């Protein structure tokens, strides 16, 4: 079951403005012949599952049959898993291990994603689309493109498994890629959740997107089974000191990731970072806009590319696309370097596309910058910052808006000493993210609204995602403090079925309602979510009146809490040192 994101006033979620990005997508990477093969393969698999007809070419007595059955038994959709893999011609000669089954499953999933691309592209040519529908279809094309990259990277990583990296790193990387791929399917459909017309387009896309989501879910479940088993066996054989299991494997003795060049290490270790380019609104730099500086940056660079943004207010929407790796925004200070926009759902955007800044390229960093959306509480979803970049980090930054301020969309992220302010669901998404030593403040919303600090979007129990707030301060802005009795504020509500949020070692003010948490709709997700609190303090940290949901837990074990620290939850030991930002890996 999934849930479309709605405001507390009943206005449903959306995405954003249309562009011609799908034209910039992959160049025609499929021939007509390949297209027909793709469509035929997907229709065959889906039809086989729906009718329960036997589509497999594997004899029930063959070893391959047993391997497929056993491999698929750990998935959430075992019939789909078996039907899809067994239908591949010549599969008998290809299957020896669980890893073989996963590889075939990933290939089939890629084919299904490609089919969905054609479906969406065809819809973009309709003449009766609204502004938001065009935008939502654009969002789908973008997330489909990202999914193809993630599946390709997962296949490469699986081919290198288990010798290229430590078992822990392999496991975390693979689970992150498939978790993000699942999230992308949800994101596409969430863009069609506003008007009745939107929902008609959603119905056209739903079967294809859900099919891919289930295929990704099955691959994720099998990957989790594979890596969990191998890690457990390694522990039994060699004990916890075995080098292959250490999270630090993949870094050299200095603690830097092996992939980071010596030059970049010197750059990052220096007290001052030399920018590659300077942005200045007054024309005194290399560029007048941040967007132009990003566009000029090299694609898929392995070296850090520093864009210094001088003091000023930049009124623009900035897109750091998936091809722009290792970009760093270096502001003159959060109070003086401000990037601001006002795109929002009420005016026809989607939530996804409303972001003032969207950071998707791997390794994105920002320091001393304010990200802002000034649309206001009456415009509903209006994102200041959306982050889909893997291994992204933010230091001394502000994110300021109202509903849906910070969209932690996917992959692994870290925020340190940041200020986040908003109203409804103002930290939301489905990344694996830790917010450490941050000030998180609810603002005064519209009359009749309730504030939700988080709305986490985990839709599959095997996803390694969740929102962790650690060693931070949860309070209220000045405009809310004097009237907070009229606007209840909660730590969060479950956007999706397996929503996961942990608040630990933080100071919680009395702005938080004694219940702590708020339902989304009726009993939805109350038994399947995971909401945890550990060693919090402050007038709002009392737990005697907290909700009695099955999914809520007071964490008392330090060992369990350790699993939500940066070192464990986002594999911080293997990458946070390269950011040059401060961090704490443990409790």
Give the active site residues. Answer: 404, 425
Q: Which residue has the tokens 């010798």?
A: 163
Residues in the chain: 587
Closest CA to 93 of 79, 84, 82, 104: 104
CB atoms within 10 A of CB 408: 26
Please compute Rg for the chain using Cα positions.
23
- Find all residues with CB under 8 Å of 213, minimum gap 6, and list them: 182, 185, 186, 459
Q: Strand order in 427-429's β-sheet? A: 318-320, 357-359, 385-387, 406-408, 427-429, 451-456, 489-492
End-to-end CA distance of the chain: 34
The alpha carbon of 162 is separated from its chain's Cα centroid by a whole number of angstroms, namely 25
DSSP states along 494-548: -SSTT-EEEEES-EE-TTB-TT-B--SSTTTTTTT-EEEEES-BSTT---TT---
For residue 340, give the 3-state DSSP assignment. Answer: strand
Map residue 422 onto helix, strand or coil.
strand
DSSP symbol at 354: G
CA distance 547 to 120: 42
Cα–Cα dist 490/474, whole Å: 10
In angstroms, rounded to a whole number, what is the distance separating the alpha carbons of residues 50 and 52?
6
3-state helix/strand/coil string of 429-469: ECCEEEEECCEEEECCCCCCCCEEEEEECCCCCCCCCEEEE
Nearest-angstrom CA–CA distance, 554 and 89: 51
At 478, list the tokens.
Answer: 């000045």
Q: Which residues contact 481 (CB under 8 A, 6 or more apart)?
A: 511
**E strands, 147-252, in order:** none
Structure-token pair, residue 322:
């998936």
Angle between the N-to-C axes of helices 167-190 and 131-160, in degrees from 0 to 180, rounded to the nearest 10: 160
Environment class of 221 (CB within 10 Å of its CB; exposed 0-12, middle 13-18, buried 19+): buried
3 state SS of 368: coil
Report the run of H or E that residue 306 belongs to, with start and end: strand 305-309
Asked if residues 440 and 472 have their Cβ atoms less than 8 Å apart, the reply is yes
């Amino acid at each position: 079951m999934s849930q479309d994101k709605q405001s507390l006033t009943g206005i449903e979620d959306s995405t954003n403005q249309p562009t011609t990005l799908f034209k910039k997508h992959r160049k025609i990477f499929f021939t007509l012949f390949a297209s027909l093969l793709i469509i035929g393969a997907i229709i065959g698999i889906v039809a086989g599952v729906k009718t329960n007809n036997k589509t497999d070419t594997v004899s029930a007595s063959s070893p391959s049959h047993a391997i497929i059955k056993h491999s698929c038994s750990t998935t959430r959709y075992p019939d789909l898993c078996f039907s899809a893999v067994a239908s591949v011609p010549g599969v008998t000669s290809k299957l020896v291990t669980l890893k073989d089954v996963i590889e075939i499953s990933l290939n089939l999933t890629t084919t299904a994603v490609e089919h969905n691309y054609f479906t969406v592209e065809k819809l973009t040519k309709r003449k009766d689309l609204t502004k938001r529908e065009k935008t939502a279809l654009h969002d789908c094309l973008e997330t489909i493109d990202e999914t193809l990259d993630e599946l390709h990277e997962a296949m490469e990583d699986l081919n290198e498994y288990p010798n290229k990296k430590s078992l822990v790193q392999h496991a975390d990387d693979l689970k992150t890629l498939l978790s993000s791929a699942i999230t992308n399917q949800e994101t596409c459909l969430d863009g069609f959740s506003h008007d009745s017309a939107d929902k008609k387009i959603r119905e056209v896309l739903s079967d294809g997107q859900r099919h891919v989501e289930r295929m990704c879910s099955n691959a994720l479940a099998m990957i989790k089974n594979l890596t969990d088993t191998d890690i457990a066996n390694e522990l039994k054989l060699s004990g916890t000191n075995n080098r292959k299991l250490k999270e630090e494997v993949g870094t050299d003795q200095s603690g830097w990731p092996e992939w980071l060049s010596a030059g970049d290490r010197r750059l990052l270790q220096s007290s001052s970072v030399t920018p590659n380019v300077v942005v200045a609104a007054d024309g005194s730099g290399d560029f007048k806009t941040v967007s132009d500086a990003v566009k000029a940056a090299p694609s898929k660079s392995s070296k850090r590319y520093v864009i210094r943004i001088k003091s000023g207010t930049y009124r623009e929407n900035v897109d750091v696309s998936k091809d722009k790796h290792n970009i760093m925004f270096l502001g003159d200070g959060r109070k003086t370097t401000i990037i601001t926009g006002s795109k929002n759902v009420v005016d026809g955007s989607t939530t996804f596309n409303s972001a003032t800044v969207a950071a998707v390229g791997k390794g994105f960093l920002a320091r001393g910058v304010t990200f802002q959306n000034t649309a206001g509480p009456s415009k509903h979803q209006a994102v200041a910052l959306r982050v889909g970049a893997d291994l992204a980090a933010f230091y001394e930054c502000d994110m300021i808006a109202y509903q849906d301020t910070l969209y932690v969309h996917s992959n692994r992220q870290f925020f340190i000493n940041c200020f986040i302010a908003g109203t409804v669901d103002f930290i939301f998404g489905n990344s694996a993210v830790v917010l450490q030593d941050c000030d998180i403040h609810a603002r005064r919303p519209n009359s009749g609204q309730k504030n939700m600090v988080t709305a986490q979007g985990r839709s599959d129990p095997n996803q390694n995602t969740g929102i962790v707030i650690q060693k931070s301060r949860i309070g209220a802005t000045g405009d809310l403090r004097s009237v907070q009795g009229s606007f209840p504020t909660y730590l969060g509500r479950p956007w999706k079925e397996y929503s996961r949020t942990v608040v630990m070692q933080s100071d919680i003010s009395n702005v938080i309602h004694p219940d702590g948490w708020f339902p989304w709709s009726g009993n939805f997700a109350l038994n399947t979510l995971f909401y945890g609190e550990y060693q919090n303090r402050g007038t709002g940290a009392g737990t005697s009146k907290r909700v009695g949901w099955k999914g809520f837990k007071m964490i008392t074990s330090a060992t369990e809490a350790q699993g939500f620290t940066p070192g464990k939850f986002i594999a911080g030991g293997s990458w946070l040192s390269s950011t040059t930002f401060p961090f704490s890996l443990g409790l």
